[in-house]
Amino acid sequence: MNASRSGLLLLLSLSLLFSAGACAQEQSVRPGVNAYYQDPEFSTWVRRFESAGREVYDLREAIVHASGVGPGMSVADVGAGTGLFTLLFASRVGNAGRVYAVDISETFVREVEARARTQGAGNVAGVVSEPRDAGLPSSALDLVFVCDTYHHFEYPQDMLRSIHDALRPDGTLVVIDYRKVAGTSSQWVMGHVRAGKDTVIREIQAEGFRLIEDNPMLRDNFLLRFRKEPR
C-alpha cells in the first residue's frame, strides 16, 4: 500500500471516530427539569429553601463544617439557588478565598450577587451555567459543592466532566441529595428525584472521582465526598 493511500485511510478512520463521538453525545436524562427556574420569584424560593424544617437548612452549619471548606480556598456552589451555602462559604474562606455562585437561573445568580454585596462579601462571583457545563475556570477550584441539585443535572455526565476539569488535582467534590428508598422516602422524592445514592456514586465515579466519605449525619439526604483523580 503506498503512502498516499495509507494517509487517506488514516484520515477516513479519524473522521469516522470523530463522527461516532459526536453521535454519542449524552442525551438529556430529564428534558425540561429546570424550566421553572428560568424566571423564578426569588422571595418565594428564599422562603422555600431557607426555612426551618428543611434538613439542609436546619443543619447548614454542620454541613459547612463537614464539607471541609476552609480559609483561602476557592469553592464553587453549583446549583447555588438563593445563596444559602454560597454566603456561608464566603465567610468561611475569608478575603483570601473565592466562592463561585453557579446556577442555571440568571435571576438566582444576580440576586445572590446582590445579597453578597449587601453583606459585604466581596469574594463572591456569580456564574450563569449551561445545562452541560458549570462554566467554571479550568483547574482553579479546591472544592465543588452540589446540594440538592444533582437530580437537576439534565446531562449529568457532561456536567460532571466540566466539574472535574474545574477542580485542581486532588480537588474535592461534595454532593448532597435526597435519599430515594422505596417504602421509606416520601412520594414527592420518589417521583421527583431521578436516582438513588448508589446510582449517583456510580455515575460520579465513572467520570474520574473516587468516593472518600459517605457521611451519615443527614436523615433525609446523603452527603458524599469525592476526590478528583486523573481520567
Q: Which tens digit of pLDDT belongs to each residue from 23-48?
A: 468 898 777 667 667 778 999 999 99
Domains of the chain: 34-228 (3.40.50.150)
**Tell me, what's the pLDDT at 5?**
55
CA pair distance 180, 216, nearest whole angstrom: 15
Sheet strand arrangement including 98-103: 124-128, 98-103, 74-78, 141-147, 167-178, 221-228, 209-215
In this structure, what C-alpha cell is assigned to residue 170?
486532588
Report the C-alpha gap between 219 and 217 in whole angstroms: 7
The pLDDT of residue 37: 72
Residue ranges for the chain with pLDDT beneath 70? 1-24, 32-33, 35-36
Task: Please report the pLDDT score of residue 122 as a whole number.
Answer: 97
pLDDT tens, 163-200? 999 999 999 999 999 999 999 999 999 999 999 999 99
Query: What integer pLDDT is reported at residue 116 of this predicted model?
Result: 98
Q: Residue 40's Cα: distance from chain center in Å?
A: 20
